[in-house]
Structure 1
Amino acid sequence: MFAKENYRGLIFATLATLLWAGNFVVSKSLYQDYSPVHLSFWRWTFAFILLLPFSWRRLTVTKLAVARRHLGFLFIASLFGMSLQTFLVYQAAHTTSATNQTLIGISAPVFVLLGGWLIFHRVPSLQTLLGIVVSYLGIYFLISKGGSAGITPGDGLMLVAAASFSVYTLMMQKQPIALDALLVLTLMAGCAAFQCGILYLLMGSLGDVSGFHLPGKEIGALLYFAIGPSILGYLFWGKAINEIGCMKAAYCYFLLPVYGAAMAVTLLGEGISLLQVVSYLFIVAGVFMSVKGDRVHVREYA
């Protein structure tokens, strides 16, 4: 039987995944008109502005000292889990489908397992290793079109994005306990906006984008990015990690293609191929094998 905390944690993780699935679909609908760095910068800038009125009063002298002491941690965590991951997802939308993005996105639990091995020096069981292999077979079938084609740039970028998000998931176990979740999210959103702003200015100076400009008709989508995937999604994900640990939270992430495919078919008119279904089954089967083989160690992450 699951404890009450487990049910709450699973609900939070599922809601976060639903909001992030919408992020893939909405970004896919915008990719032809707006650069990835423009969407990334304004997403995190709006998120920071919206969060600030609710969190600035929480920043006491003591918490300010804690925040300064952990600024490096917050900066790096926001780099992997927010600015870099967001930019890669929006860039990938140019050369792969929203359905493929969500399918590759669920490889994050496998990267979390590998990260736990490398960071926490925890040797995975044979069954866990076998599950990882099965998951990556599914990913290979998907991105190589069954072995008959090369990897598209978008699919490759999504693999890097999944690895980046797994680093964030592992890092958030060590977030400063003296800072509440809302304050941590606000500070990290500010870091992400700063990082994306630097990239925006750099790419503009190199001529890779048309230059810095204010949002226009895409303002509704940017507000969705800021409120849904950025604020609520990350708060829910943080709550899930606190309730059930990063490993169990990561396993809920395989619902991403279910939500994403339903939205992509309904809103974008994308189709679902047999190859995508088979790849999904391989990936999920591998995740379940990894869960079962790794279950004796899950408490270390809770």
Structure 2
Amino acid sequence: MSTNRSTWLAVAALVGATLFWAGNYVIGQRAVEAIDPLSLVLLRWALAFAPLLVIAQLVERPRWREVARAWPWLLALSAFGIVGYNLPLYAALEHTDAFSASLVNAFNPALITLAAAVFLRERLTPLSVGGVLIALAGVLVVLSDGDLGSLFHGGFGTGELLMLVAITAWTAYAIVGRLGPRLPPVTSTAVQSGVAVVVLAPFSLASGGPELPETGAALGSLVFIVVFPSVLSYLLWNHALTVVPPGRAGVFLNLITVFTAVFTILAGEPWTAAQVVGGAVVIGGVVLTNWKAFRGTGADPGPAAGRYSGSPGIAEGSKARSSHE
């Protein structure tokens, strides 16, 4: 296969992955109307576990003893990335719209860059600092709906606050992933999903068992979330990273917010100028934060450039380099 064709196929894979991750916000908002967040997370990863495990065995043929020895890291990664990210995300979608949630999530790469500087001693350039501050300003515009003064007397909305919890958990996931052993990406995600199911199942049973979809629409939403954001997006992203450097791939994650905005408009749902302006500022700040990586220069683009960029499933291999998220 020619290099140009391989590159274009990789780009198509990146676009497809981000398209499906954007769908997780839009479809997730519909799903939580019929299925509570705990049940949704449990069912999502319980149903995705077997396909991921089979794919891992067929494609990666992992050394399971080495995987088993990494259990403390996999437990921590599952706690932060599967449970800690997904639960507040779906809970947030009970209180805010998909577009607003994706806008807050767009700040995650900048937050990871900042955390990497604090905890991993990674160097922050003046441009990176400026990008983080600009992205933060964009998030504040979104949170305040354009009225920054309202943050001082009204605080954050419940949905937006839950999204801040979600991206904080994903940031912790990114940092832990950088410190842990390298594992095959699909294998790592499969094990993390299995751990999450084991951890969440007792809580679900204690509350009466998981809430199952009772309508065709609810079932369809669950199937979409399992098949596309949980399995296909992840595989597309990992395929693309065999051709495209992580730093350049990372810029495509900004399409999640763009696609979510398009879905919002097509669905006829309301949107505000503050969301559009704030979202543009956030994305601009993230691009500045990772400018060197996006231009394809530098040896290691860092966690925010594509390895751990704040989308469900982009665990670039938990130093398992599981590309996505």
Shorter-chain TM-score bucket reads 0.7 to 0.9
Give me the TM-score of the superposition, normalised by structure 1: 0.83
Which runs of 5 or more residues in structure 1 are unaligned? 205-209
Counting only pairs closer than 5 Å after superposition, residues 164-243 of structure 1 correspond to structure 2 as 164-172=169-177, 176-177=181-182, 179-202=183-206, 204=207, 211-217=209-215, 218-239=218-239
CA distance in 2, matches of 1:166, 1:10: 26
Q: 1:290 to 1:212 in 2, by over 3 A?
A: closer
Name the structure 1 match of 2:88. 88
Q: How many Å apart are 1:134 and its aligned residue?
A: 0.7
Q: 1:244 to 1:70 in 2, by over 3 A?
A: farther
Counting only pairs closer than 5 Å after superposition, residues 134-153 of structure 1 correspond to structure 2 as 134-146=134-146, 147=148, 148=150, 149-153=154-158
CA distance in 2, matches of 1:164, 1:76: 11
The amino acid that maps onto 2:190 is T
Check the 8 A contact 2:46/2:194 in 1, yes or no.
Answer: yes
Name the structure 2 match of 1:285. 284
Instruction: Identify the range of structure 1 (97-106 vs 236-245) with the bigger mean alpha-carbon deviation.
Output: 236-245
Name the structure 2 match of 1:207. none
CA distance in 2, matches of 1:236, 1:81: 19
Instruction: Identify the range of structure 1 (33-42 vs 72-81) with the bigger mean alpha-carbon deviation.
Output: 72-81
Q: Identity over aligned residues, as a percent?
A: 24
The amino acid that maps onto 1:50 is P
Bigger fraction of residues in helix: 1
Name the structure 2 match of 1:77. 77
Check the 8 A contact 2:134/2:282 in 1, yes or no.
Answer: yes
Name the structure 1 match of 2:316. none
The amino acid that maps onto 1:188 is Q
Which runs of 5 or more residues in structure 2 are unaligned? 308-325
Instruction: Identify the range of structure 1 (79-88 vs 192-201) with the bigger mean alpha-carbon deviation.
Output: 192-201
- 1:299 counterpart SS class: coil
Instruction: Output the aligned Cα RMSD.
Output: 2.9
Name the structure 2 match of 1:271. 270
Q: 1:138 to 1:114 in 2, by over 3 A?
A: same
The amino acid that maps onto 1:216 is E
* 1:244-301 C-alpha deviation (Å, 9 max, x unpaired): 565544432221121011112223x312211111101211221122123677655264
* 1:31-73 C-alpha deviation (Å, 9 max, x unpaired): 232210011100000001333444456797x812111101121
Instruction: Identify the range of structure 1 (22-31 vs 235-244) with the bigger mean alpha-carbon deviation.
Output: 235-244
Instruction: Identify the range of structure 1 (290-299 vs 187-196) with the bigger mean alpha-carbon deviation.
Output: 290-299
Name the structure 2 match of 1:32. 33
Aligned length: 291
The amino acid that maps onto 2:17 is A
The amino acid that maps onto 2:42 is F
The amino acid that maps onto 2:231 is I
Instruction: Identify the range of structure 1 (15-24 vs 44-53) with the bigger mean alpha-carbon deviation.
Output: 44-53
- 1:101 counterpart SS class: helix
Give me the TM-score of the superposition, normalised by structure 2: 0.78
